[in-house]
Amino acid sequence: MDIEDEFGSKLLVAPPVMPWRQFATWIRMDAEQNIVWGWIRQGYIPSYKVGKHVMVNVALLQQQLLEQEWTL
C-alpha cells in the first residue's frame, strides 16, 4: 500500500511480516543483503522461519523501535 506524506512523497507501508530479502529491498539495502542477513542471524531484527523461508517480523521491529529510547 502506498500513501503520500505532506511533501507528496510516497511512503510504503509494510505488512506485519515479509521475506527477509524483500525486507532488505524495502529498507533500500538490497545491494547489501548480506548485512541484513547478518542482522537477522545476530538477532538484531526479529524473524522466524516458516518452512524454508525466513520472515522478518516487521510489526515487532516497529514496536521495538518505537519503545526504544533514542539519544543523540
Q: Report yes or no: 57 and 43 within 8 Å, Cβ to Cβ.
A: no
The x, y and z cell numbers of residue 24, run together, are: 532488505
Instruction: Note whether 53 and 18 are within 8 A (CB).
Output: no
Q: Cα 31 to the chain's mean position, in Å?
A: 15
Q: What is the pLDDT of residues 18-58, one digit of tens each?
A: 999 999 999 999 999 999 999 999 999 999 999 999 999 99
Q: pTM for the complete prediction?
A: 0.75
d(C-alpha 3, C-alpha 51), whole Å: 32
Q: Quick count: other Cβ atoms within 10 Å of Cβ 4? A: 9
One-letter amino acid for residue 29 of the chain: M
